[in-house]
Amino acid sequence: MSELAIDRDIDRSKMTVSDEVAIEISNMNKWYGSFHVLRDINLTVNRGERIVIAGPSGSGKSTLIRCINRLEEHQSGKIVVDGTELTSDLKNIDKIRSEVGMCFQHFNLFPHLTILENCTLAPIWVRKVPKKEAEATAMHFLEKVKIPDQAHKYPGQLSGGQQQRVAIARSLCMKPRIMLFDEPTSALDPEMIKEVLDTMIELAEEGMTMLCVTHEMGFARQVANRVIFMDQGQIVEQNEPEEFFNNPKSERTKLFLSQILGH
């Protein structure tokens, strides 16, 4: 839980937040069995926002972003993504999933496919892009995450940091309008965290709408335009990063920050 310094200048020219709403969550509740994991969540995300969700483990932050592409089902309330409401309608779910990219803590690359095949699978089968074109797109994004030379290897032959960058490239190949990150650096060595964060910063610089569950407070401070603090399934506090870190309002936030930011 360190604060990794981000030692580069961030190009903020395209990091603008528009008025257009990307995600709207209202009065959303979710239970696991009888356990109330998410309680009355209200959250509006505008296009171009970079939101970091922080909080202690078990606070429901992963569950929250997993509800946005229906990896978890919510039981009440409303989630609208890009104008499409998430219901049990499978067509809507697949449509939203193809427009919302997601990166996981454990990458979830497909180990039986090469890096290139990992990146072209969904464009070919979901978007029906011709194979040649999908491969060209994949190589473009692999170059962006700086591992084009690994395209014909298998995920098991890459380091953790490289795998996570492939996972980001794989999501980008679907040309998503929103990216979700579920603790993308939590399973990585410190040396590799930086390369993944750099990739995420580049993505932010291009104006991507991002929701990140992460413990990287350096990233939150410099890249996010809003930090959300969750505890016990509720949004406890949200603010601009500057205010959030320097002037937290709730006692719970203060305690959390004092613990993760060290002494």
Partner 1 sequence: MSDISFVRTEMLPQQAPPATSVGVIGWMRANLFSGWLNSVLSVVSGAFILYVVWFLLSWTLSPTWAAASLNECREILAGHEGACWGVIRDRWVQLLFGFYPSELYWRPILTFVLLFVALAPVLFSEKVPAKLIYFSAAFPFIMPWMLWGGTIWGPLTAAAGFVIGYVVFKAVDRAVGSLAGIIAGVAASLVWWLLLAGPVSGTLGDVLNIGLTPVESRYFGGMMLSITIGVVAIACSLPIGIVLALGRRSDLLIVKSLCVGFIEFIRGVPLITLLFVASTLLNIFMPPGTNFDIIMRVIIMATLFASAYMAEVIRGGLAALPKGQYEGADSLGLDYWQSQRLVIMPQALKISIPGIVSTFIGLFKDTTLVSVIGLLDPLGLSNAIRADAAWNGVVWELYGFIAFLFFVFCFSMSRYSMYLERKLRTDHH
Strand order in the sheet with 100-103: 100-103, 178-182, 209-213, 50-54, 226-231, 234-239
Interface characters, 149-188, with partner 1 (x: CB under 8 A):
-----xxxx------------xx--x--------------
- Name which of 39 and 95 has its Cβ closer to partner 1: 95
Of 29, 46, 108, 232, the residue at the interface with partner 1 (CB under 8 A) is 108
Nearest to 100 by CA among 74, 116, 125, 122: 122
Q: Do 182 and 105 form a contact (C-beta atoms < 8 A)?
A: yes
In DSSP terms, 53 is beta-bridged to 213, 228
Rounded least distance, CB 187 to partner 1, Å: 11
Which one of residues 4, 6, 15, 71 is an interface residue with partner 1 (CB under 8 A)?
Answer: 71
Query: Given the complex with partner 1, which of 12 and 112 has the nearer CB atom?
Result: 112
Q: Near partner 1 by CB under 8 A, which window of 94-102, 190-198, 227-235, 245-253?
A: 94-102
Site for partner 1 in 123-142 (CB under 8 A): 125-126
CA distances from 61 to 67, 111, 138, 188, 241 (A): 10, 27, 30, 19, 17
Which one, of 43, 45, 47, lies nearest residue 16 by Cα?
47
| Contact stretch for partner 1 (CB under 8 A) within 11-19, 46-54, 109-117, 192-200 | 109-117
Class of residue 87 by CB neighbours under 10 A (exposed 0-12, middle 13-18, buried 19+): exposed
The mark string for 11-50 relative to partner 1 (x by CB under 8 A, - otherwise) is ----------------------------------------
C-beta of 61 vs 194, nearer to partner 1: 61
Q: Compute the distance between CA of residue 229 and CA of residue 54 in angstroms, rounded to an integer.
A: 5
Residue from 95, 144, 146, 177 that binds partner 1 (CB under 8 A)?
A: 95
* CA atoms of 257 and 228, how far apart (whole Å): 12
Smallest distance, partner 1 to C-beta of residue 245, A: 31
β pairing state of 178-182 and 209-213: parallel
Residue 104 near partner 1 by CB under 8 A: yes
Q: From the CB of residue 86, how many other CB atoms can be counted at a distance below 10 Å? A: 20
Give the CA count within 13 Å in the CB-facing half-sphere of 68. 31
Instruction: Give the nearest distance from C-beta 32 to partner 1 in angstroms.
Output: 14
Site residues for partner 1 per CB under 8 A:
69, 71, 90, 94-95, 97-102, 104, 106-112, 121-122, 125-126, 154-157, 170-171, 174
